[in-house]
Structure 1
């Protein structure tokens, strides 16, 4: 096992482009009001098996996070919470477990965004394919119906076992929020953004009390696959957000 690291000294930071992307995702998530105070967390794997990863510092507001602030952690380090600059214990419990057991989950984003959390609060937390955004997640999400309290290590391990199928990209965490995984920061943030939009559409449609127009299963799967294969959109989405932040003089890339 490589040497454990809780907080990499700023004089010797690695993975700079990845840090910049992740910092931009934090800033934009705050701008969209999809965060919750200082309680949510994102992570990004930096080695092949995913066991080393970048993550936000303990209880730092998303709107202030810079590339140089990100922690570099080892999922196999049993003493990480005892080290200087240790992460939030629930962030460690959830993200450490996912990175330890799901090497395909290169990036992991967990938020309590309002519409996804409303969905997670319903007895039936399924997201029917009532529009193109909702169809994006057809057969690509899992619902956790066994909420067991804060995501300390035992709860994190339980959640990680529900993400072992690489086709599953979203976990609706019943009574809690949402967890999204992907191949990169851009891929994962784009999916997080569209899930919140899809959840909002569904919740607003329910509020009308009218009958839903549900897309047939075969068309929903076809649409989901087409969106999976759509070239370049996720990266372009993140690049545009970084361009806006750069024009505004944001410190995210510092």
Structure 2
């Protein structure tokens, strides 16, 4: 009998979780044509990572068709299975330079993109969900077109730093986490929070913005609820097991 090693088992589990995230993104309307990318580090230093292949629709991503890439190997872009240039620019650079970002989701979800188009895209703390991200969102307002330039990738990686969310002005959002479930929960709540702020702006009425002290207190009060993310992601995987079990293959 072929017994899978612990390392291989860990990678297979990670592959299945990452594949599940793509399928969930479709269910929630976060996908965009055959673009955008999610990635997850396999190696301890983060430079070996999994990512979806070039121009594959999120609904067709499976555990086995995820690419295993080396962030330090630029010859990756010369091979027949080379990833999308913008994906390599963002994910390759982040995984090479930012060990905090074990998992990185980059997408153009509707509310995040709309927020990113504002001259001031800051996520103001006006309710529980927006306050969840107080002090945890980085802003990159240096948009330079399609993100396929090495210097832009470096700027994105450095600006994200150890924060879980990067609002990319005129572009979209990148979300980092220690696990796939954590990154998914960050993106889930950020998309909801951005939607709430945008609707509040649309009323034209003055916003009831929390003080910094209250917002910081509220953000800290979210910490004991971090286990919600694992439970939420587990629910979605059970749902996929019933409706799209091929994600694990």
Classify the TM-score, shorter chain: over 0.9
The count of residues paired between Structure 1 and Structure 2 equals 241
Q: 1:94 and 1:138 mapped to 2: Cα distance? A: 24
Equivalent in the alignment of 1:169: 164
What residue is the counterpart of 2:246 in the other structure? 251
Counterpart in the other structure of 1:9: none
Could you tell me which residue of structure 2 aligns to residue 208 of structure 1?
203
Q: Distance in 1 between matches of 2:76 and 2:60?
A: 24
CA contact (8 A) 1:125 1:172 kept: yes
State the shift of 1:157 in Å.
Answer: 1.4
Matched, 1:80 2:76: yes
Rounded Cα–Cα distance in structure 1 between residues aligned with 2:133 and 2:214: 13
SS of corresponding position for 1:68: coil
Equivalent residues in 2 for 1:47-126, closer than 5 Å: 47-126=43-122
- Distance in 1 (CA, whole Å) between partners of 2:111 and 2:233 is 22
1:28-74, CA deviations, whole angstroms, 9 ceiling, x for partnerless residues? 10111111111100000011111110000111000111111100000
Q: Match of 1:159?
A: 156
Q: CA RMSD in A?
A: 1.4
C-alpha deviation, 1:249, in angstroms: 4.1
TM, length-normalised to structure 2: 0.93
Shift of 1:190: 0.5
**1-structure distance, mates of 2:235, 2:41:** 23
Pick the structure with more helix per residue. Answer: 2
Are the counterparts in 2 of residues 169 and 182 from structure 1 also a CA contact under 8 Å?
yes
C-alpha distance in 2, partners of 1:94/1:243?
A: 31
Q: How far did residue 182 of structure 1 move? A: 0.6
1:150-174 CA-to-partner distances (Å, cap 9, x unmatched) read 111332112111122x2x1111000
Gaps of 5+ in 1: 1-11
* Greater shift in the superposed pair: 218-227 or 113-122: 218-227
User: How far apart, in 1, do the equivalents of 2:227 and 2:170 lie?
Assistant: 34
Deviation at 1:229, TM superposition (A): 3.4
Matches of 1:139 and 1:126, distance apart in 2: 11
1:4 matched to which residue of 2?
none
SS at match of 2:104: strand
Name structure 2 gaps, 5 residues minimum: 1-7
Report the Cα offset of residue 245 of structure 1: 0.8
Deviation beyond 4 Å, 4+ runs, structure 1: none
